[in-house]
Amino acid sequence: MEYGDERFMTGIIYYKDDEITIRDLREDDAQVITDEEIAQGWDATAEKYYLRLKDATEGKAVALVAEYFGNVAGYINVYPDCEWGAFGGKGLPEIIDFGVLEKYRRHGIGTKLMDAAEEVASKYADTVYLGVGLHSGYGSAQRMYVKRGYIPDGSGVWYKDGVCAPYGECCNDDELVLYMAKVLR
Does 25 reside within a domain? yes
Given pLDDT bands bounded at 50, 70 and 90, which one contains residue 82? confident
Separation of alpha carbons 150 and 145, rounded Å: 5
Given pLDDT bands bounded at 50, 70 and 90, which one contains residue 127? very high
Separation of alpha carbons 71 and 44, rounded Å: 19
Q: For the segment 132-184, what is each residue's pLDDT rounded down to a tens digit?
A: 999 998 999 999 999 999 999 999 999 998 999 999 999 999 999 999 999 99
Nearest of 85, 78, 79, 139 to residue 114 by alpha carbon: 78
pLDDT at 1: 41
pLDDT at 29: 95
Rounded (10°) angle between helices 139-147 and 109-122:
50
Q: Is the pLDDT of residue 7 over 80?
A: no
β-sheet bridge partners, residue 96? 77
Q: Is the pLDDT of residue 6 over 70?
A: no
Q: Is 77 exposed, middle or buried (0-12, 13-18, 19+ CB in 10 A)?
A: buried
Does 56 reside within a domain? yes
What's the whole-number mean pLDDT along residues 64-75?
Answer: 97
Does 168 reside within a domain? yes
Nearest of 50, 106, 47 to residue 74 by alpha carbon: 106
Q: For the segment 13-57, what is each residue's pLDDT rounded down to a tens digit?
A: 999 999 999 999 999 999 999 999 999 998 889 999 999 999 999
Residues making up the chain, counted from first to last: 185
CATH number (domain holding residue 75): 3.40.630.30
Given pLDDT bands bounded at 50, 70 and 90, which one contains residue 87? confident
pTM of the model: 0.90
pLDDT at 5: 46
pLDDT at 83: 87
Q: For 68, phi and psi rounded to 5 degrees?
A: -120, 115
Q: Is the pLDDT of residue 3 over 80?
A: no
- Distance, C-alpha 45 to centroid of its chain: 17
Given pLDDT bands bounded at 50, 70 and 90, which one contains residue 9? very low
Separation of alpha carbons 142 and 133, rounded Å: 8
For 177, the domain range is 6-183
Q: Is the pLDDT of residue 62 over 70?
A: yes
Longest dimension (CA), the chain: 51
Does 157 reside within a domain? yes
In the three-class reduction of DSSP (H, G, I as helix; E, B as strand; rest coil), residue 13 is classed as: strand
Q: Which helix (H) or strand (E) holds 154?
A: strand 151-159
Does 54 reside within a domain? yes
Does 1 reside within a domain? no
Does 136 reside within a domain? yes
The total number of structural domains in the chain stands at 1
Does 63 reside within a domain? yes
